[in-house]
């Protein structure tokens, strides 16, 4: 068993008002486990999941493109191939525990893949952040 305090893993910036705290990178680029934090008003644009996703809201709320609001304590399952977008809403930052199998493909206006986040991509971002900040990297790989 491996156990880490949530304070040990840093928040890694992903853009304006968006960061992730890595918890586990699955071997062979199979997926990842993270805490995802968004400031109110920040949007996650159109994206498609190559595998299933499990998301549990710990803090704050988000609104799906369907208008459905996901609040603290709510759980969302997304099947492989699901395409959606959503936005952090309310007064407090959104924090979601996310288990992603496969990768997340971000889609441009024409529906083409404009970017991809996978275990390998996020591991590289985590490594770069630790190097830049002089932080010790935790072994979060399977």
In our burial notation (b when 16+ CB lie closer than 10 A, e otherwise), range 22-35 reads: bbbbbeeeebbbbb
Question: What pLDDT does residue 109 have?
Answer: 87
List phi, psi (to 5°) of 103.
-130, 170
Question: What pLDDT does residue 6 have?
Answer: 52
Question: Residue 103 corresponds to which tokens in the numbers above?
Answer: 């990768």
Per residue in 22-66, pLDDT (tens digit) is 999 999 999 999 999 999 999 999 999 999 999 999 999 999 999
Q: Which residues pair with 96 in a beta bridge?
A: 36, 57
């Amino acid at each position: 068993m491996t156990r880490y305090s949530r304070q040990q893993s840093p928040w890694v910036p992903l853009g304006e008002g968006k960061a992730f705290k890595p918890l586990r990178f699955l071997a062979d680029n199979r997926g990842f486990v993270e805490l995802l934090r968004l400031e109110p008003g920040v949007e996650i644009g159109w994206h498609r999941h190559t595998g299933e996703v499990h998301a549990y809201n710990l803090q704050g709320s988000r609104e799906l493109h369907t208008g459905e609001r996901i609040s603290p304590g709510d759980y969302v399952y997304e099947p492989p191939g699901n395409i959606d977008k959503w936005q952090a809403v309310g007064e407090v930052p959104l924090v979601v525990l996310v288990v992603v199998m496969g990768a997340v493909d971000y889609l441009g206006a024409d529906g083409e893949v404009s970017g991809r986040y996978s275990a390998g991509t996020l591991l590289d971002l985590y490594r770069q952040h630790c190097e830049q900040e002089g932080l010790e990297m935790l072994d979060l790989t399977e």
